[in-house]
Amino acid sequence: MSDRATTVVKALAVGSASYLAGYITAFSLSIPAVALSPATLAAQQWRNLFHTGMHTAPPIAAFAAAGFAFLSFSEGHTTLRGRVYAAAGALTLSIVPYTLGLMRQTNGRLLECAERKELTEDEVAREEGRACREEREESEVHSLLEKWRKLNFGRALAPTLGAALGWWAVLGW
């Protein structure tokens, strides 16, 4: 492949990994505002963020990883630069197993909380102990949101490190 095309792949791979790092971080930064809402609404707002990220982040990660894989192959996967590109691609794509392994339980519980329906006034009047239940739900949802925020910051480190390695390889440090 020509030098110009390789330069374009370098820019796209490093740029995509860098973008992904910021994109994932932005979700964590939005959680304090989401947590200001009542529990069910907060969980529903989180669910919207989750579905947006679920449908966009993995393809961006795969795109960046494919670029890094190409660069690794082009450099020769046994060279230092080739191995650095391979590591950059693996780190960037690792958001998928990180999500499935470390975040699945928290994601599942938040999705369950998002499915709760708001009670009508008649249901509220009939339900005993509603105040206690609401306090538990508020506490649980906000605790889950905080846990998710921290886990998501951890997930953002993978493409951040991938981008850093990509820059290192591109600039030849």
Render 131-157 in DSSP notation, one character per residue. HHHHHHHHHHHHHHHHHHHHHHHHHHH
What is the pTM (predicted TM-score) of this model?
0.88
Residue 116: its pLDDT value, please? Answer: 81
Q: Is 173 helix (H, G, I), strand (E, B) or coil?
A: coil
Cα distance between residue 173 and residue 167, in whole Å: 9
Per-residue pLDDT 10s for the chain (173 aa) are 689 999 999 999 999 999 999 999 999 999 999 999 999 999 999 999 999 999 999 999 999 999 999 999 999 989 999 999 999 999 999 999 999 999 999 999 999 999 986 555 555 555 555 555 556 778 999 999 999 999 999 999 999 999 999 999 999 87
Residue 28: its pLDDT value, please? Answer: 97
Residue 130: its pLDDT value, please? Answer: 54
User: Which residue range forms the structural domain that includes residue 135?
Assistant: 3-171
Residue 173: its pLDDT value, please? Answer: 77
| Number of domains making up the chain | 1
Radius of gyration of the chain measured on its C-alpha atoms: 21
Cα distance between residue 132 and residue 110, in whole Å: 19
Do the Cβ atoms of 72 and 89 come closer than 8 Å? yes
Return the closest-CA partner of residue 151 out of 94, 89, 107: 107
Residue 138: its pLDDT value, please? Answer: 80
Residue 123: its pLDDT value, please? Answer: 56
